[in-house]
Structure formats: C-alpha cells, structure tokens
Structure 1
C-alpha cells in the first residue's frame, strides 16, 4: 500500500462511485478498479460492498476511510509547510464550515484575504458541526467554522457576536403565533418542532423552564433539509436568523423567539497545541482585525 492507492481510495469515497472518481483522477475505470482490488488484496479485507451503483463501505472500509483522512491530512499539511518555507506566504488554507455560518461570513473575508495574499488558495469543506470537528481532528482541515457549544479543552477559538434563533414555519400548512415577526417560546407548546441535534438539550431546557415539554418531530443538523421539511408543513424549524437571508421563500415565515430571547454563536476553532500554517495564521489575524473594527 502506498499514498497513491490511498488517494485513489479516498477519491472514490468522495465521488460516490468508481466511474466519477476515474474521471476526476483521469484514470481509466478498469484500471482504477484493479488498483482497488489490489489494495484490498494487500490489506486482506474487503473495503467496498459490491453490487451497488453508489459505493458502500464495509466496516473495514469505514475504518480505512478514517485512517486515510488522518494520513492524507498529515501528508498534505507537510507539503503545505514545505511550500511555505520555500516561497514565503502561499499554499492552501483548508477550511470546514457549517452551511449558514460559512455562507454569511466567508465570502467577504476570503475576498479581502485574497486581495492581500493572491498566491494563497482555499479548499472548503461543508457539513454539520460534528463532521467539521471530525475533519479538524483528522487534520484534513486546519480551521473550522461551527456553532457553539464545543469543547474548549480541545479547541482554541474566536467567538463571533451572538445571533438570535428564529422559528421558520410554513405560512399556510403549519403556523402559530399572534405577532408577524416574533413568537413567545410558550406559543410553541404542542407545535411540531424540527431541532438541530447540537441545540436539542438546550432547547428542551428552555422549554422546561417555560413550563412545557416540546413536541419534537425531527432532530437534524441539516439546515437545508430542515427548511425543506418546514416547507412541506411537517414542522417548524429552529434555525439561526441568518437563514432568513440565505433561504428566502414566500411560503416561509421566520419569527424571532422572545420571552425568553434565545441565541446561538458562531465560533472559529482550531486544534489546541497543533501548529497552524503561516497562511492560516494570517487568515485568523484578518478575522480578528475585522472583529476589532466592528466594535
């Protein structure tokens, strides 16, 4: 087994099947299939379940994917460090972000950073907060943009200002509340709710303090999926207020939660005591400068 085979394997996992991976790698599909068969033979395990258009990993394949992320992350990180030592500021910044935070924060920040450091490129990953932390732990990314809470013993962080939480609801299929732009927490009693996993315990505590047990019909960290469920009238979704600007739809009404007001916080995190590339350090410095200017 060598790094090339590991990269081929990981490309297949990312692409979803061998056909798409072969196009991405510019390798003939039969040749790539043979490479994977040779990899399985050398490891003595089966990595893929056969007979499906979209690849499915076996238990051994799942474990190998995790190890491949760690190893390739280390290799790519080392290559970036060598590039920077040789040419000064350059290389690639690997960032992971949850959907709403990345969409609102990154465009202007990356644009300004690129004007200062035009030789630096970006590699962006998107997923829920748990996936972003997994990529961070495995060294695939250097910086993660997630929503609180997180483990401050493991990660260093920069916290952005609090953002109100709102309830998205379908105007005709699933609607409640007397006011157009705000809703009291108690008004959500008995309403079907769609709650992100990372806020589940906090939300239940808020509702308990308000005197009711919430009726949760779905727990999911996928903001887009939660909004789709809301449009179908399945329930009302708890989302950050920035979602309203990103997903505007005449069928939807976003109401800010009051009595009590509840909020979330976007945090930029990186692994404590792990060396950051010079490019990533400059990126964090720019972020700090922007926050200081906003005060």
Structure 2
C-alpha cells in the first residue's frame, strides 16, 4: 500500500466524485479508477459505493479514511522532521493542548521563540487529556499540555506553576448567580454539562460518590461548546475559570465551587523522544519559563 495511493483515496473521499478528484490530482480518471480498484483488491474489501453521479464510502472505506488520515499525518511529520534536521531557521511543531487558561505559558514561550526564529510554525490541536495523550503516543504530537498527573512510566514532564480553578458557568439570570460560591446541593436541581474526563477524574475528588446526585445532561470535550448550551438556557456547566468570557457585558457568569477544587497542568513528551531542532528549542524555552 503506497502513501501516494492513500492520498488519492482521500481526495476521492473528499470530492465524492472520481472525475473531480482526478482533476484535482492532475491524473487521468481511468488511471485513478484503476488504482482504486487495485487498492480494493489489495485489501480484499469494497471501499466505495458507486452511482452515476457520486461515490460514497462503505463502512470499510470509512475505516480506511480514518487510518489513512493518521498515516499521512505521520508521513508528513516524518518528512518535515528530516527536512528541518539540520536547520534552526524554521520548522513545524505539533502540540496537543487540553483546555486551560494556563496555555498562556505556551503562548509566552512561542512569543519569545518567535522573536528569534520567525520561520517556526506551530500546529496546535485542542482536546481533553485522553485525546491529546493518545495522539502523542502515536507520534502525531511533539508534546502535549494535559490537565492531570502524567504517567511517569511513559512521559517526561514539566509542571505548570499555577492551577486551574473549578466552578460553575451559568447565565447571569440563573438563580445561582447571586451566590459567591456553589455547593453540590446548589447544583442538584440543574442539568449539568462537563467533560467526560472530569466525570471520571476530577469531580469524584470534589464530591465523591455523591457525583451520582448530579444531573449530568451532556459531556463536552471543549468548554466553548458547553457554553453555547448554557447560553441557550439548557443548564449550567462545570468547568475551569477563565475559559469563557464572563465580562460585565456577557450574558454568562462564573462562580467557584466549594469546597474548592483545583487541577494542575503539565507539559509532557514521550520518554526517549527525538525532537526536531524546532521542537527542542520550544522545550528549552518552556523549561526556562516554567
């Protein structure tokens, strides 16, 4: 299975049309069709459902699309690493970030580094700790910012000096908005939105087995999406402070929970990681700042 053929496959999946895909790839349509037929024969599975006007992926095709995207991400990253191995003037750095205002430390490192090396480009993907750690393990990230203690058998880490403060994001017209702190008892009548990670790792530290008393209506891996639900009046969100704008002009407000709950953040990378020159520079800058 060739990388080139996987790129062809993904272009067809995006266009859902063999002729348009061939035009974008600058190859003939019969040649493209033949290579897709050979790919199906190699895998022993049908990848496309073909009609007169469009092409749609089969279940096997959708699985291959996900795997092909990961493989091509890795192939592009490897190519970039070797191209920049002997140069410090530029390069690409791939970073996974859990949501936190403490990403300001990453921003400070990038600001300092950018003054000396403006040719470095940063590719930052947001997600919860499970998502970014999984992509780090697969080699798709150089490093990751996570919001839980790292697995010391797998990672080297730097500890961020501050902590995130947990609280409740709500509409300003919510009856809880007049309180300075929110208790578990206060929350019980309200539909709650939070991250799946918090349900497993954070909230049990706050309320133990009483977590079952919360009406967890939905889980989100990005607080901005949860904030939309809150703004529409569907409930309240348990999240970190300073993630969502709550200025006097905002329709939302934030109140800390009591007893107080804090979460530390860490920068991690795999043991025995071989960094590109650009990624190595960022790690050293983070060491100095943190």
Shift of 1:264: 2.0
The answer for the alignment partner of 1:184 in structure 2 is 183
Matched, 1:120 2:120: yes
Shift of 1:132: 1.9
What displacement does 1:17 show? 4.8
**Structure 1 spans left out of the alignment, 5+ residues:** none
Partners of 2:50 and 2:223 in 1: CA distance: 32
Matched residue, 1:66: 67
In structure 2, the partner of 1:289 is 288
1:97-143 residue CA offsets vs partner (Å, 9 max, x unmatched): 23445864544432322212223222233334333223222222212
Matches within 5 A, 1:199-238: 199-201=198-200, 202-208=202-208, 213-238=213-238
TM-score between the two structures when normalised by the length of structure 1: 0.77
Q: Is the 8 A contact 1:98 1:126 kept in 2?
A: yes
CA contact (8 A) 2:166 2:256 kept: yes
Flag the 1:187–1:248 CA change in 2: closer, same or farther, 3 A.
Answer: same
Aligned to 1:270: 269
The aligned counterpart of 1:27 is 25
Instruction: Determine the C-alpha separation between the residues in 2 that align with 1:100 and 1:49.
Output: 43
- What is the CA distance between 1:68 and its match in structure 2? 5.2
**Alpha-carbon deviation of 1:216?**
1.4
Shift of 1:262: 0.6
| Matches of 2:219 and 2:211, distance apart in 1 | 21
Partners in 1 of 2:108 and 2:58 — Cα distance? 38
Please report the TM-score for the alignment, with normalisation by the length of structure 2.
0.78
Equivalenced residues, count: 282
Distance 1:140 1:78 in 2: 10
* Aligned-CA RMSD value: 3.7
Judge conservation of contact 1:177–1:183 (CA < 8 Å) in 2. Answer: no
